[in-house]
Structure 1
Amino acid sequence: MDSPLMEPLLVPKDHAPVVAATPGEHGGAAADESSTVVVTTSGPARALADAEEKTNDDGDVQGDELSASVQRRLDESSGVEKEDEEEEEIGDDAEADDMAARMGRRLAALSGKAHESEPLTIFRVAGPMRERNRHLYDPQMISIGPFHRGGGRHLAAMEAHKWRYLRDILARPGGATLATYARAARAMEARARRRYAEPVALPAAEFAEMLLLDGCFVVEFFLKGQESEEDALIDATWAMQNVYNDILLLENQLPFFVLERFYDLATGGLGRDYFVTNVLVNYLTVNMSAGPRDPESTRPPDGEIHHLLHLYYHWFLPPEDRLGSGSGATSKSEDEALEEMTSKSMDDDERTPCLLPPASELQDSGVTFRAKKSPRSMVDVTFDRRGGTLEIPAVESYTNHAIFANLLAYEQSRGRWELQRLVSYVLLMASVVDARRDVEILQRAGVFVGGDEETAAFYAHLGELCPPPDFVNNYYAGLFRDVREYCGRSWNRHRAVLVHDYFSNPWTCMSAAAAVFLLVLTVVQTIYTVLPYYSPN
């Protein structure tokens, strides 16, 4: 191998393979013809130079021997380099094999097949929303699923009730055995695990046991409630309400197919529709407030039910044929809604996120507010473009804030192009109610019933945490456009200026009235002054 050291070598001029620049070449004193030239060389090159010098001194025979010796040194050097390259290549291959083995083990641990994936349906609440409202998203009494498993002493007390409910569901006439439940839980373990948006660090056996214990508790809880069975947990109203709240939290969910399977085992296979319609929805309707008024909403949804909160969302916001003011997008499907909205000719400002002015400004522009009669759901807000009437369903002060906040979080975890009805509703209410005067306007209209300021503050707080949807998936896209066009009419614009400048408070109102009164008196006086000239009698 080449030596790392570089040394000067004295070589006769006529034999030097590489000649360094001499001072004479650069205009200096001419070098002597017989002088030697200093070159810098190393390794095999130096050996060749030695061989040539030795040949000149001792003859051709010795030079040939020396050349052969040098050639052997060159061959040895080349061989060492080749060995080093081969060792490096072998080392690289070994490291690559080890890396491939490690990655292969990780890939083998993945469930499912390539290009196939289960939809992620159970999420944690996004950071900003959760940090400011932990009490709305954390279970207060019981943990369901892996996210809050072992979450504290206040949740540990309910573990004994889970085992008691498991014993009760196993004792149901015609029900399955514990071994059958266990086999069903193990069979669903991998599929259920894939529904959670975060990796669950539980072994397969422990995860399946959690599915069995928590799933049977939820099913038995609803069965006891439907049958009005006496139970210490059901009879305590405060405890029952807390359990209802906890099993509807976004982070406290089990995949719905787990509950459906355990319900079939407990009842002998009554079926999904019976479970949804007669057990879940009807009982939720009785025990949860602020539900829809449309009886069609109790029908099971056509597609897959992801979990209990998804079912409650479907019941809370039933599908509607038309949205908002009746001139916005349709809810036929997310793709059709996107195509319909993007196919319309709209200005750039119409495509941007849009909010309504406060109720006081809308009222100044001629918009009147009215509580909507028999709304299909709480988001059934409409606007009459001719009369300028904005109808909003009455907001009940006893609306469950925790459930509403979790419905809002669930809606934001859905597909990108899903129409965001609750987010749009929260932002609409937060924009309409900006001051005490706005609350009073909605109160007189019958929109706010009960604790108005607290409800308005709740919507305002949630509105700060909701990113505004764009025009494509804004539920009130058509309503915003209609209200803007109505307020932009010439008469309504001048009316708003007049009301704002002259009737915004009692003093300006009195001043304007006095000015009008003086103007009328002046006109009357002028008439009586001029009239005798034209009619002396």
Structure 2
Amino acid sequence: MNEKLLDITFDYFESGNVCPIESPKHFTDLIRSSIISSSELGLGKPEEGKEVNHVYSASQLMEAGVKFKISPNKSLLDLSYSKRDGALSMPILNIDDITEVLFKNMMVYEQCHPSAGDIIRQYVEILDFLINTEKDVDILVNKKIIVNLTGDANKVVTVINNLTSNIPTPEFNSHYFSICNSLNEFYDNPRNKYKAIFIHEYFNTPWKIASTIAAIVLLLLTFIQTVCSILSLF
């Protein structure tokens, strides 16, 4: 376990994370402070929060047309959304056997030190919104946003969902609140929403795709036959 903790420490500093300005109280505070200090968005500062009760999952958003991209920023916290491109950018997240313990420790630290803010909890809550099924995990893995070192998509779902269990939903800072609202607004746009419903109902599995294409072809052939029959009468 100690070797893994050392590996995490070295990974953070080798990847260019900034050392925290204030002296960390212990190892958990060191990791948390390093993540916050490396953020280019200044999200670590406590501010008046806003409630978010729901965000559509990654698979729902993708069916509606949202794009998922890797953020070039080093900090996990640096999520961003482009309304022009309809793209959510997220830094790479490695998930392994100790990810759950590491994040839980940081979230407990935030609960015990309210003045430090709860930015890690907010970040994890957004992950929990996005990840509900293995399909959601597969999307983020295929986009290279999540590196699944466990080798099991279902385990990633369990890890993320366990992180938010028995913990009250945090209020979001203005940046995260804006991202969540923008994602929901994109999906709720009638054109995008019906597109998502259509894809989910008719193109969600290989069998549905095959049957939908067969139905379209049959309909097209029937239409052509009808037209030919009408033209033959003249």
Structure 2-normalised TM-score? 0.80
AA aligned to 2:37 is: P
Work out which of the two has the higher radius of gyration on C-alpha atoms and give 1 or 2: 1
The residue that corresponds to 2:25 in the other structure is 307
1:288 and 2:9 correspond: yes
> For each residue in 1:464-519, what CA deviation from the matched residue of structure 2 results, as whole angstroms up to 9, or x when unmatched?
13311124x47621110110111111210110121122222333333322221122
Assess if the C-alpha contact under 8 Å between 1:424 and 1:474 holds in 2: no
User: How do 1:105-120 and structure 2 match up within 5 A?
Assistant: none
Assess if the C-alpha contact under 8 Å between 2:38 and 2:74 holds in 1: no
Match of 1:470 among 155, 171, 175: 171
Alpha-carbon distance change, 289 to 494 in structure 1, aligned in 2, over 3 angstroms: farther
Match of 2:58 among 354, 359, 372: 359
AA aligned to 1:434 is: N
AA aligned to 1:389 is: A
Greater RCO (CA < 8 Å, at least 6 residues apart):
2
The residue that corresponds to 1:526 in the other structure is 226
The residue that corresponds to 1:395 in the other structure is 93
- What SS does the aligned partner of 1:369 have? strand
> For each residue in 1:32-78, what CA deviation from the matched residue of structure 2 results, as whole angstroms up to 9, or x when unmatched?
xxxxxxxxxxxxxxxxxxxxxxxxxxxxxxxxxxxxxxxxxxxxxxx
Assess if the C-alpha contact under 8 Å between 1:427 and 1:466 holds in 2: no
1:316 and 2:35 correspond: yes
Alpha-carbon distance change, 287 to 321 in structure 1, aligned in 2, over 3 angstroms: closer
The residue that corresponds to 1:490 in the other structure is 190
Assess if the C-alpha contact under 8 Å between 2:35 and 2:75 holds in 1: yes
Structure 1-normalised TM-score? 0.38
Q: Distance in 1 between matches of 2:169 and 2:53?
A: 8
> For each residue in 1:218-258, what CA deviation from the matched residue of structure 2 results, as whole angstroms up to 9, or x when unmatched?
xxxxxxxxxxxxxxxxxxxx7x538xx5xxxxxxxxxxxxx
The residue that corresponds to 1:380 in the other structure is 78
Deviation at 1:445, TM superposition (A): 1.6
Alpha-carbon distance change, 386 to 399 in structure 1, aligned in 2, over 3 angstroms: farther
The residue that corresponds to 2:156 in the other structure is 455
Q: Distance in 2 between matches of 1:352 and 1:518?
A: 49
Deviation at 1:527, TM superposition (A): 3.3
1:500 and 2:200 correspond: yes
Q: Distance in 2 between matches of 1:287 and 1:392?
A: 20
- State the identity %: 23
The residue that corresponds to 1:18 in the other structure is none
Alpha-carbon distance change, 403 to 318 in structure 1, aligned in 2, over 3 angstroms: same
User: How do 1:199-278 and structure 2 match up within 5 A?
Assistant: 241=3, 245=5
Deviation at 1:306, TM superposition (A): 5.4
The residue that corresponds to 1:178 in the other structure is none
Match of 2:106 among 407, 428, 451: 407
Q: Which runs of 5+ in 1 are unaligned?
A: 1-237, 246-283, 323-329, 342-350
- What SS does the aligned partner of 1:409 have? helix
> For each residue in 1:388-438, what CA deviation from the matched residue of structure 2 results, as whole angstroms up to 9, or x when unmatched?
22222222234743333222211222336x652211121222222212222
- What SS does the aligned partner of 2:129 have? helix
Assess if the C-alpha contact under 8 Å between 1:384 and 1:390 holds in 2: yes
Alpha-carbon distance change, 523 to 378 in structure 1, aligned in 2, over 3 angstroms: same
- What SS does the aligned partner of 2:89 have? strand
Q: Distance in 1 between matches of 2:93 and 2:45?
A: 28
Q: Distance in 2 between matches of 1:474 and 1:410?
A: 22
The residue that corresponds to 1:510 in the other structure is 210
Deviation at 1:296, TM superposition (A): 6.5
The residue that corresponds to 2:120 in the other structure is 422
Assess if the C-alpha contact under 8 Å between 2:51 and 2:171 holds in 1: yes
**RMSD, aligned CA:** 3.1
Assess if the C-alpha contact under 8 Å between 2:38 and 2:75 holds in 1: no
Q: How many pairs are equivalent?
A: 229
Alpha-carbon distance change, 443 to 294 in structure 1, aligned in 2, over 3 angstroms: closer
Assess if the C-alpha contact under 8 Å between 2:44 and 2:119 holds in 1: no
- Which runs of structure 1 show a deviation greater than 6 angstroms over 4 or more consecutive aligned residues? none
Alpha-carbon distance change, 519 to 318 in structure 1, aligned in 2, over 3 angstroms: same
Deviation at 1:293, TM superposition (A): 7.3
Alpha-carbon distance change, 317 to 445 in structure 1, aligned in 2, over 3 angstroms: same
Q: Distance in 1 between matches of 2:224 and 2:76?
A: 55
Q: Which runs of 5+ in 2 are unaligned?
A: none
Assess if the C-alpha contact under 8 Å between 2:71 and 2:79 holds in 1: no
Q: Distance in 2 between matches of 1:287 and 1:359?
A: 27
Assess if the C-alpha contact under 8 Å between 1:290 and 1:396 holds in 2: no
> For each residue in 1:177-207, what CA deviation from the matched residue of structure 2 results, as whole angstroms up to 9, or x when unmatched?
xxxxxxxxxxxxxxxxxxxxxxxxxxxxxxx
- What SS does the aligned partner of 1:476 have? helix
- What SS does the aligned partner of 2:76 have? coil
Q: Distance in 2 between matches of 1:318 and 1:381?
A: 15
AA aligned to 1:507 is: W
Match of 1:443 among 132, 141, 151: 141
Alpha-carbon distance change, 374 to 290 in structure 1, aligned in 2, over 3 angstroms: farther
